[in-house]
Amino acid sequence: MKRTPCVLIVDADILVRHSLAEYLRECGYRVVQASNTDEARTLLTRRRGRPVIDVVLADVNAAGGENAFALATWIRANHRRVQVVLAGTVDAAAEKAGDLCEEGPTLSKPYDHQLLLDHIRRLLAARDRAECEGST
């Protein structure tokens, strides 16, 4: 049986975090939440029993010991299977985020829920396709 993909939401705003999480759960995803980048790193440093995270959806303004761009860089270097989506309101930040992540991974806030869902689906499908092609 295929594992339910897991999305990690990183956002300091509890209202944003909760509403996004509930929406993604309704769409069939498992969701874990971090209120800052430190918590995100802790959750990503997987040990036995913790969920395998497939997508990180982080606010560019997320608080923590490092900013969201540094977190994205660290994820790309250490967790190659994890797809990163950075979201924010600042155009320049979004552009910078685009350099760090997969093709077209940035979204603007407020989130369009359907757009977000399509985006996550596309990212996971592209990853699975790439892995499939790589194994043949």
Partner 1 sequence: MAPELDPEPERARVLLVEDEVLIRTPVAHMLRGAGFVVIEASSADEAWSYLQAGAPVDLVFSDIQMPGSMDGAELARKVKESYNHIVVVLTSGKEGPPPGDNQHHFIRKPYRSANVVAMMMSLLGRE
Residue 101 binds partner 1, judged by CB under 8 A: no
Residue 35 binds partner 1, judged by CB under 8 A: yes
Residue 32 binds partner 1, judged by CB under 8 A: yes
Residue 15 binds partner 1, judged by CB under 8 A: yes
34 vs 97, which CB is nearer to partner 1?
34
**Options 14, 52, 115, 126; binder of partner 1; rule CB under 8 A:** 14
**Options 4, 26, 46, 50; binder of partner 1; rule CB under 8 A:** 50
* Residue appearing with tokens 């757009």: 115
Task: Please list the alpha-helical segments (H only) found in 30-112.
Answer: 37-44, 68-78, 91-100
Residue 18 binds partner 1, judged by CB under 8 A: yes
Please name the residues in contact with 91: beta carbons below 8 A apart, sequence gap of 6 or more: none
CB-count burial class (<10 Å; 0-12, 13-18, 19+) for 48: exposed
d(CA 35, CA 2): 29
Of the listed pieces 18-26, 74-82, 84-92, 93-101, which binds partner 1 according to CB under 8 A? 18-26
Residue 43 binds partner 1, judged by CB under 8 A: yes
Residue 10 · residue 21 · CB < 8 Å: no
d(CA 87, CA 107): 5
Interacting residues with partner 1 (CB under 8 A): 14-15, 17-18, 21-22, 32-36, 39, 42-43, 49-51
